[in-house]
């Protein structure tokens, strides 16, 4: 298969275009999960790595998405770059990243964001903004002068795509859709009606 037919090479080129032309957050993607009964939920997350191993993001394992992935480890994502009028979609099984990988990414975040991850019981009810701010302030004190370690329930997930679709806007809604489907030894490529 020619290098230009590899979906991750194509993704890298599109992502580079998006970084150059989006006004903010070219890495923002909608990420859908579903519970054990198949009921879907979706939210935005930031794409932190993309390559042949998959599409990765970081979050709290006890969040709603974390709970749904624990009971049903499948996901779907969509990136939409408005400035380019392009969309990328991917679907597949989702696995948690290794602790070493989560540690490395966590270390790269600002100290304030690292403390924020300790302060936030993500997706759990919060009685008031003040409670959250008090928790944050007391954690700032607790970690004063120390490294802020990764909370044990904060990690990353990797969606290992079985399908990746590249959508390009065309006049009169006659869009182009290129679908890559994983095979045992590579990728099949085909088109879909728009």
Ligand X SMILES: Cc1cc2nc3c(=O)[nH]c(=O)nc-3n(C[C@H](O)[C@H](O)[C@H](O)COP(=O)(O)O)c2cc1C
Residue 10 counted as an annotated binding residue:
no
83 lines the binding site for ligand PMP (CB under 6 A):
no
User: Cα separation of 77 and 56, whole Å?
Assistant: 11
113 lines the binding site for ligand PMP (CB under 6 A):
yes
User: Cα separation of 7 and 165, whole Å?
Assistant: 9
CA distances from 156 to 8, 43, 57, 117 (A): 20, 15, 5, 13
155 lines the binding site for ligand X (CB under 6 A):
no
159 lines the binding site for ligand X (CB under 6 A):
no
Residue 142 counted as an annotated binding residue:
no
* Complete DSSP assignment for 104-152: HHHHHS-HHHHHHHHH--TTS--S-HHHHHHHHHHHHHHTTTS--PPPT
* Residue 42 structure tokens: 């979706």
User: Cα separation of 21 and 100, whole Å?
Assistant: 33
Residues binding ligand PMP: what is the number (CB under 6 A)? Answer: 4
Are 191 and 177 in contact, with CB atoms under 8 Å apart?
yes
78 lines the binding site for ligand X (CB under 6 A):
no
For residue 58, the minimal CB distance to ligand PMP (Å) is: 6
8 lines the binding site for ligand PMP (CB under 6 A):
no
Note if 85 is an active site residue.
Answer: no
- Binding ligand PMP (rule: CB under 6 A), the pick from 34, 42, 46, 84 is 46
Please identify, using beta-carbon distances, which residue of 87 and 155 lies nearer to ligand PMP.
155
- Binding ligand X (rule: CB under 6 A), the pick from 123, 140, 168, 181 is 123
* Residue 27 structure tokens: 């890495």
49 lines the binding site for ligand X (CB under 6 A):
no
Residues that are catalytic: 173
Where does this chain bind ligand PMP (CB under 6 A)? 46, 58, 109, 113
| Binding-site residue ranges | 43-48, 58-59, 64-65, 87, 105, 109, 113, 122-123, 167, 173-175, 177
């Amino acid at each position: 298969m020619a290098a230009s037919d590899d979906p991750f090479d194509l993704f890298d080129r599109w992502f580079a275009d998006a970084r150059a032309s989006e006004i903010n957050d070219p890495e923002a993607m909608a990420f859908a999960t579903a519970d054990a009964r198949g009921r879907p939920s979706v939210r935005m997350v930031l794409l932190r790595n993309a390559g042949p191993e998959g599409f990765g993001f970081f979050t709290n394992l006890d969040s709603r998405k974390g709970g749904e992935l624990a009971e049903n480890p499948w996901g779907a994502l969509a990136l939409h770059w408005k400035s380019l009028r392009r969309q990328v979609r991917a679907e597949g099984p989702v696995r948690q990243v290794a602790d070493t990988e989560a540690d490395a990414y966590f270390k790269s975040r600002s100290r304030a964001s690292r403390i924020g991850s300790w302060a936030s019981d993500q997706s759990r009810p919060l009685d008031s903004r003040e409670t959250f701010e008090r928790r944050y302030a007391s954690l700032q004190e607790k970690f004063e002068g120390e490294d802020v370690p990764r909370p044990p329930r904060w990690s990353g997930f990797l969606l290992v795509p079985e399908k990746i679709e590249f959508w390009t806007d065309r006049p009169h809604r006659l869009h182009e859709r290129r679908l890559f489907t994983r095979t045992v030894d590579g990728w099949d490529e085909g088109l879909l009606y728009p």
